[in-house]
Amino acid sequence: MGTQLEADVSLGSFLSGGLDSASVTGFAQEARRRSGGGIQSFTVRFGTPDFDESGRARATARDLGTHHQEIDGQQLRFDRQFMDQFIDALGEPFGDTSALAVYLLCQATRPHVKVALSGDGGDELFFGYSGMRKQQWARHFNFLPRSLRRMVGAATAGRSGTVARRLGKYAHLSLLDAPGLIIDWSRRWEWTVLGRLLADNVFDDLFPDPDQPFPEVRAMIGNGDRGGFLEQQGRFHMLVDLPCDNLQKVDRMSMAHGLEVRVPMLSNVMLEFAGHLPVSMRKRGQRTKEPLRTIAETLAPTLARPAAKRGFGFPLEAWLRDDLARHWREWELTSRLAEIGFVTTEVDRLVEQYSGPVQDGYRTQALAGGLFDLMLLALWTERQGIRL
């Protein structure tokens, strides 16, 4: 940690309610205390309970003894001026909506410090993503006859409710090979929806083999020669998800505000340690993400109390709800999307569906994410002058 703290300027740390940022912040605080100083920590407070970890972060900060500051996540405005600034900061269409939360965090942190530490990389090194376990559950469906799994998928298609949705998803995933399962778990759009949204020639050009899409990603996932499915999951997160999503998001949002962000979890020392750590030592009974979990709980006893893993998300649906339809019309986004190969009737149908009464919270949130993807794409292509 010592080298990560070397700076001629003020330095702080991002702190959520999770193990990774608490470990990084805790070790940084201990190191600074030895020299008579301390660390400033920063977190975002949202008014939506499903996304708000500020209470747990506040308690963790008390355990660690940091000078803690909370940022009001409801101050982010949804208008054209902000969207243009956000797209310029991204540099390209980018589908991870948590970039909004990171933008806000970096914007509010920069007036206080010029360097911030982040916990990025912990989930990748210590297999902390809950999705990894759920993917493994889907593979357990393989003991059922393939025809039965197809029947379950067909019977639950389009059904609302958590049980039906999960049964259908796991049945579908179990029909795929390992790379296909990992890729399918991570994508945001259903193939049937994309097929309706994109003109036939555009869809065929983008996905010449829909049964095995994204061949470059499949190659990076590999065949799991040495470590089986867990190795393939780890390769996806380390070689695809981490550099192409998480690190890119933090890099673009921080540099937009002149803030340097460092990731101690991905230092050479930590990468070497994790590389030699047997898989069997990363889980103890029902306790995952070891030995990081034990270390973090020693630094901050608050973390020993059970809490749902939220990640650093953004309450997109609540942010979009009141203004999306109006902005969509005023910014003429459907026409913009038509110029790059989208079917206008299908685009308008999704906007109308989102603007109606909320009948299924899960599907409404997913639709909000999809429409935000389309909005970013439309505004970015407009700014770039791109047409097909």
Q: What rounded mean pLDDT belongs to the chain? A: 91
- Supply the range of the domain harboring residue 329: 316-384
Domain harbouring 14, CATH code: 3.40.50.620
Residues 123 and 136 both lie in one domain: no
What pLDDT was estimated at residue 160?
A: 77
Banded pLDDT at 128 (limits 50, 70, 90): confident
User: Contact at 8 Å (CB) between 21 and 119?
Assistant: yes
Residue 310 in any domain: the answer is: no
Residues 380 and 244 both lie in one domain: no
Tell me: the pLDDT tens digits for 261-311? 999 999 999 999 988 888 878 887 778 888 999 999 999 999 998 887 777
Residues 184 and 261 both lie in one domain: no
Helix, strand, coil percent content, the chain, rounded in steps of 5: 60, 5, 30
Banded pLDDT at 5 (limits 50, 70, 90): confident
What pLDDT was estimated at residue 2?
A: 66
Residue 201 in any domain: the answer is: no
Cβ contacts of residue 142 below 8 Å, gap of 6+? 174
Question: Directed axis angle between helix 228-236 and helix 130-140, to 10°?
Answer: 140
Residue 374 pLDDT exceeds 70: yes
User: Contact at 8 Å (CB) between 128 and 23?
Assistant: no
Number of folded domains that form the chain:
3
Residues 36 and 96 both lie in one domain: yes
Secondary structure E strands in 249-357: 260-262, 283-284, 287-288
Percent of the chain with pLDDT over 90: 66
Residue 356 in any domain: the answer is: yes
Residues 286 and 371 both lie in one domain: no
Residue 203 in any domain: the answer is: no
Residues 241 and 349 both lie in one domain: no
Residue 69 in any domain: the answer is: yes
Tell me: the pLDDT tens digits for 76-116? 899 999 999 999 999 999 989 999 999 999 999 999 999 99
Tell me: the pLDDT tens digits for 6-21? 776 789 999 988 899 9
Residue 366 in any domain: the answer is: yes
Last residue of a domain, one of 304, 337, 352: 304
